[in-house]
Amino acid sequence: MSVSKEVPLAGVRVADFTWVWAGPSATLQLAHLGAEVIKIESLERVDTTRRLPPYADNTIGHNRAGYFNQYSQGKKSVVLNLKNAKGLEVAREIVRSSDVVADNFAAQVMDRLGLGYEDLKKVRPDIIAISMSGYGQTGPKRNYIAYGPVQVPMIGLASLSGYPGRGPSEVGLSYGDPNAGMHAAFAVLAALWHRRRTGEGQFIDLSQWEAAIGLVAEGLLDWVFNKSQPDRMGNRDLAEAPQGVFRCLGDDRWVAIACWSDAHWEALARAMGREDLVGRVDLRTREGRKAHELELEQAVADWTAARTPEDVVATLQAAGVPAYNPLSNRGVAEDPQLNARGAFTEFDHPEVGRRRHVGAPWTFRKSDVRARGRAPLLGEHTAEVLMSVLGYDASRIRELDEAGAFGPPGWLSRHWQGG
């Protein structure tokens, strides 16, 4: 299939001040869509995700972290010392050449750096700036510090998760971060469209907290409608039964089953060979099945315990019942469906070699949308961007280097062969 050589965001440049997860996941989507994303990094405070495992071959290094290498695909890395007047001057020059400025710092951090929206407008009047702070730029808690594991409890999800008789449970993932990233990318696209029609830039104030509330909106509405806070129920569902994760034949083998309609239930019971359950009047409605939940869970568990997950999945999928085996890390990487769809992409990396990454989540028929390259080494594109984007010559770059614009004086000349 042929695709257009014109990518959706061709010609769009993003000055990316984001770090950790929420912001980088937003600019990753823009990179997939073809924007030139210039990631502004600090040598003094290296991005957290460069300092988190897993590391390639379990060898620690700023360019070896899987976390960073996944969410920085297709970006360029420029190191700047924003506490240095010359470094800040370079940052503003990059903004002048950019269409979008993104950050996910706490409220007012960009203002304190001299890079708040009012400052940015003086540099480029039609700039689009998005700030993805945890609590938003306004309100009594705007200066609170947010982090992924805290955001899950903040939206009510932890209070709904866990087992009966126990406290709120961590869900194992900082949902707020990638969720905010997707919302931010969507907002930037809308702002770019607005600027195309009107010529106007604007400031986008995205609260990661507010963006994540929609993940559990039904919980909020249960309180709004009924003043109800349901008990935690482990793998069970509030309304449907049977469903959950059931042990299968083998060591630590499991299968996830969802039974969300009368038809699902009848198909499940027949697949298990339980015509006696199919014929029971008291199980024909979800209310009836919920009333006999423990009995039905035991019936399903007895059936799955004698079968491999693969057997269960094949049998239930053929019968029209949603089921899949919980995948290990290896299972995800080797899943035939994901690989057949091209969900993964591979890039050669100068430090970690050729590695597999999660690719772009979309398949376009008419446009060139894809993961565009490996993650950058720390500061890899500093000289390149200064020359190709800002038009600096080698003499100017050396002057900035000696003035500490990039970090310790002389850092760039020690890492850039052309210096």
Separation CA 280–CA 288 (nearest Å): 10
Parallel/antiparallel/unpaired status of strands 243-247 and 13-16: unpaired
Separation CA 159–CA 283 (nearest Å): 30
Separation CA 332–CA 355 (nearest Å): 15
Q: Phi/psi at 275 (nearest 5 deg)?
A: -60, -25
Separation CA 336–CA 338 (nearest Å): 6
Separation CA 328–CA 412 (nearest Å): 42
End-to-end CA distance of the chain: 44
> Is-contact 355 380, C-beta < 8 A?
no
Angle 96-99-102 (CA atoms, 0-180°, nearest 5)?
Answer: 95
Catalytic residues: 177
Residues forming a β-bridge with 76 = 38
For the CA atoms of 333, 335, 341, 346, what is the dihedral angle to 10 degrees?
20
Q: Which of helix, strand or coil describes residue 68?
A: helix
DSSP 4-23: -SS-TTTT-EEEE---TTHH
Q: Using the structure block, give the residue that is written with the tokens 């003499």.
A: 395
Q: Which of helix, strand or coil describes residue 125?
A: coil
Question: Cβ neighbours of residue 40 under 8 Å, at least 6 residues apart?
Answer: 15, 16, 17, 78, 79, 80, 82, 91, 94
